[in-house]
A and B are shown apart, each in its own frame.
Chain A
């Protein structure tokens, strides 16, 4: 781990089972970051608006089809916001619609994954995401200087 443990992973996910799977995968991958879950796009934007003043998350996982302001709006907000723009943003959705795919990459999403129905595959995709975005990839350094003041508890790993 080359990041401060205080840093947080923001997850927009309205489905409890899918969020559980995220946590399962994090456990399997040995992720030590705190997870902050939001279930609507609006909530996601509200949280980010606060943290834009202070510290940004190390990774954002976005589901697209969520109630009350969906993942697309959150995606647009993040990529249009200067201080959030460089935060790795991974779209995780059930939609294989090429329109969604085009939209997300047009807005600047860093990756787009279709959630597999097979649980094993689902876990593996998530583990690979964590491995890649939290360990393998090199990201701008200034991210490290920021401190996440999020108050959500870290998952019990």
Chain B
């Protein structure tokens, strides 16, 4: 505090010891928050005030300007009956109003006192406070009766306008316009208090040439707590000449009770020096303020400013009061319809988001499409954690900062709550100091978890308040005038002070927004669950159809084999009765039998092939040397009679694979190598190429890179390159049925399927007359070099 008038902090409060008068004692910046604004001891000098004992209407206190209005000094009036001022008729009227009208907390116009001498025509209003009647007299402001404004018509039109308004903002805009039309003030603002009690010019009607203040925010301190409190119990606060003089009551205390007069409901109540100075510093000469309440709480104010001193006659005040009361009554429904709109908007946008995500099958749609997570929420940025990474939109912290924040969030019990899993703050740095470095982007945080297991979440960020709102301090850069309290009582200065108090803070999240975030969470989770269910269904379908296929293959094979067996049997019997057959026919019957046997093995191969694709593999660590040994045993290559050689020049590695299936791969390849041999005795080699080894890999597909490649090489007849693809097709044979030991042409097809089931590839390199090499990988699994 840098103002010279500031008393030391421990100075006694001027109102702590006896009756107080703002005129005499003043007020300072340190004690203004406890200033007795209800008992200022003074009134504004444009009116006169009488305090009457309720029982006999004896004058107890009089404003010191009584000569000006009534022609007599306060001393002369003290202890006299009120008739002395208002006459017998006026006294009777007062008595009647006091006895019959509800005038507690509500000043009522009793009568008009005709002009007498220097004083003009006076409006006489009266209200009750405890055991006294307070009589306030002000100039009517009407030169002649005929010039009277028709306030009734004005109010009626205004109410109609307001009722037709759609939504809260429109309602307030019309209210401001109607009040301005009625009062003729230079500027009428609807000033709305936020949850943190700072205020915003929510609607405005003004003289054309004035700069708009619409949308400006003002710190809480600009309307101190006592002022806010007093507005809960009165309907109007006129200050027609803010810089005008104040007059004291004589005496300051009620002689009956010794207490100062409670002036809460006095239209003439003297304004706090702080307030009048603040207005003066903005160049405002007159103000009229009316509260708008909601549920007994101060929702906002109708604030009228005039740049020259003015007059607020009783009738005008009554008309404005009526409008303020209508506003208070209608506010709730206007606000509810506004809230409904506000609640429906995110709801609609969120529905769209989820629908889009459902179509795309990906939640990322929430951040990279229109609308996005930012469209429903008033936030500066949003981040979605999904598939182990952040998807951001708008202004958010860095991914590393998000990771740390997520870690911190997951440790919080409120984030894991079963009923309302949400974290919400308007000052992240207060709860989580590590975030101070990015408070500009993320002072406000609203976060909901999407999945506990995968740590998925949605987080909205709201920037520091300073960054977002249009502070009232800015347009008031240069104080117009500076009163005795220095530059403190200017919007600019209070803005600077308030800047400190809103550092690292955002505008608070509303209940509507928190609820909306929670509902979006449910929608997203439903979507995720629905997708999981769909996947489970598909899996079940797949399993079922696999089982059905399996059963079908067996049934088909069974049903085909039965007649085959019968045919073979009859052919056999025909052959048995040898005498009925000549050599020709015997050959035919033998052919018949051979065909049935071949058909039998075709069916077996088909069945086997169809099962290879569907049975579950069993991955274990397998020593491939053992597997090759077993495969050689199976194809009879160990019973070497010297007509061929099988070499395994270096030990094979161990590998995670399905032992039985890999043995089948080797046995099929080895059996082919033996079968398709040139006239010379075949030399067969089984080996591998390590992933890092520098060795030729002819025809190797790209997918084989980085994996061990196994091979079976023969010195056989070889294959033309145009057949390299076909040989892996089911039942594809390159040679006559009975050449090279026959066979059904299933071996390589089965090899390919088994290799593919391991995630690997199989291919061939061959030259006719030189030999073939079959290569394959059992991809994806690490190979270990043999010990």
Contact = CB atoms under 8 A, between A and B. Distances in A.
A115 B596 CA distance: 14
A115 B565 CA distance: 8
A15 B562 contact: yes
Contacts, number: 54
Could you say which interface size class chain B belongs to? 20 to 34
A143 interface: no
A141 B77 CA distance: 141
A120 interface: yes
Could you say which interface size class chain A belongs to? 10 to 19
Contacts of B596: 117
A119 B572 contact: yes
B456 interface: no
Interface in B484-516: none
Interface string A101-138: 00000000000000111111010000000000000000
B569 interface: yes
A21 interface: yes
A142 interface: no
B355 to A, nearest CB: 45
B730 interface: no
A22 to B, nearest CB: 11
Contacts of A20: 569
Given A94-B562, A117-B564, A117-B596, A122 B569 contact: yes
A17 interface: yes
A46 interface: no
A65 interface: yes
A94 B565 contact: yes
A122 B554 contact: no
Contacts of A17: 565-566, 569-570
B597 A118 contact: yes
A18 interface: yes
B332 interface: no
Interface in B524-566: 550-551, 554-555, 557-558, 561-562, 564-566
Given A15-B562, A94-B561, A96-B607, A119 B554 contact: no
A68 interface: no
A95 B569 contact: no
B410 interface: no
A97 B561 contact: no
A125 to B, nearest CB: 12
A55 B325 CA distance: 107
A120 B576 CA distance: 11
Contacts of B561: 94, 115, 117
Interface in A74-105: 93-97, 100
Contacts of B550: 97
B566 A15 contact: yes
A116 B604 CA distance: 12
Contacts of B564: 117
B561 to A, nearest CB: 5
B600 interface: yes
A118 B558 contact: no
A95 B553 CA distance: 10
Contacts of B557: 94, 96
A95 B561 CA distance: 9
Contact of A21 (B551, B569, B599, B607): B569
A120 B600 contact: no
Nearest to A95: B558
A18 B558 contact: no
A94 B573 CA distance: 21
B675 interface: no
Contacts of A116: 565
**Most chain B CB inside 10 Å of its own CB: which residue of A18, A115, A119:** A119
B683 interface: no
Nearest to A17: B566
A96 to B, nearest CB: 7
A33 to B, nearest CB: 23
Contacts of A122: 565, 569
Given A65-B558, A94-B558, A96-B554, A120 B566 contact: no
A97 B564 CA distance: 18
A95 B568 contact: no
A106 B555 CA distance: 21
A122 B596 CA distance: 14
A9 to B, nearest CB: 20
A15 B570 CA distance: 14
Interface string B336-372: 0000000000000000000000000000000000000
B568 A117 contact: yes
A117 B554 contact: no
A15 B568 CA distance: 14
Contact of A120 (B551, B558, B570, B572): B572
Nearest to B572: A119
Contact of B568 (A93, A94, A119): A119
Contacts of B599: 117
Contacts of B593: 118-119
A94 B558 CA distance: 5
A67 to B, nearest CB: 13
Contacts of B558: 65, 93-95
Contacts of B562: 15, 18, 94
A117 B601 CA distance: 10
Interface of A: 15, 17-18, 20-21, 65, 93-97, 100, 115-120, 122
Interface of B: 550-551, 554-555, 557-558, 561-562, 564-566, 568-573, 593, 596-597, 599-600, 604, 607
7 contacts: A15-B562, A18-B566, A96-B607, A97-B550, A118-B593, A118-B597, A119-B569
Minimum-distance CB pairs A-B, first 9 = A119-B572, A17-B566, A117-B600, A97-B554, A94-B558, A119-B569, A94-B561, A119-B568, A117-B565
Given A65-B555, A97-B551, 15 more contacts: A15-B562, A17-B569, A18-B562, A18-B565, A18-B566, A20-B569, A21-B569, A94-B557, A94-B562, A96-B604, A97-B554, A116-B565, A117-B565, A120-B572, A122-B569
